[in-house]
Amino acid sequence: MKWLKWSNIILDLLIEEDLQQSVIGVAVLLDFQDFTPNYLLQTTPFLLKKIFTVWQEAYPMRLKAFHYINTPPAFQVILNLAKATLKEKLKQRLYVHANYMESLFSHIAKNNLPKEYGGDNGNLKEITENWHKKVNEKRNWLLEDEKYIVDESKRSGKPRTSSDLFGIEGSFRKLNID
């Protein structure tokens, strides 16, 4: 899922270059306009839980809000399933905008939005080109940064595993009970 990889790269660069982002926070805007049904099939409640957990627990950044626009009808069902596993504070920061041109501006100032979304902060093509340039400039740093991992044996208290954070993944097709 290319969009998710790019989101994480951008968050990494924001943390690296602008420490104020950790304090001020970030609002994420996700436009489903060009999402295909295949993307939606990949966006399971379990994947959403993983995304939210990583962004909430692993990134040293305040996540102010997640805004979703141009969502397909099935997305609300998937999001509601994922919400059941989230902390109350994060649930209150999720917004699905049916008519985003009216409701989005009450959350995000126009000077922070690109022209395509009714704002005055450049256009998406320019913004995308700037981020591509920034990623290329920081390529070596990003590759080096990927090498670092947590040594859970040095954590005080119980090590945090993926099953602690995400529960048990998969399905049970057959269950024998004595």
- 58 within some domain: yes
Low-confidence spans in the chain with pLDDT less than 50: 172, 175
- Tell me, yes or no, whether 93 lies in a domain: yes
In a domain, 122, yes or no: no
**Residue 99, domain CATH:** 3.40.525.10
Tell me if 157 is assigned to some domain. Answer: yes
| Residue 154 confidence (pLDDT) | 82
Domain membership of residue 73 (yes or no) is yes
* 143 assigned to some structural domain: no
pLDDT of residue 54: 81
Global pTM value: 0.75
Number of domains composing the chain: 1
pLDDT at 74 (0 to 100): 78
Question: Does residue 114 fall inside a structural domain?
Answer: no
Its domain, for residue 94, covers: 17-108+148-166
Residue 132 in any domain: the answer is: no
SS3 for the chain is: CHHHHHHHHHHHHHHHHCCHHHHHCEEEEEECCCCCHHHHHHCCHHHHHHHHHHHHHHCCCCEEEEEEECCCHHHHHHHHHHHCCCCHHHHCCEEEECCHHHHHHHCCCHHHCCHHHCCCCCCHHHHHHHHHHHHHHCHHHHHHHCCCCCCHHHCCCCCCCHHHHHCCCCCCCCCCCC
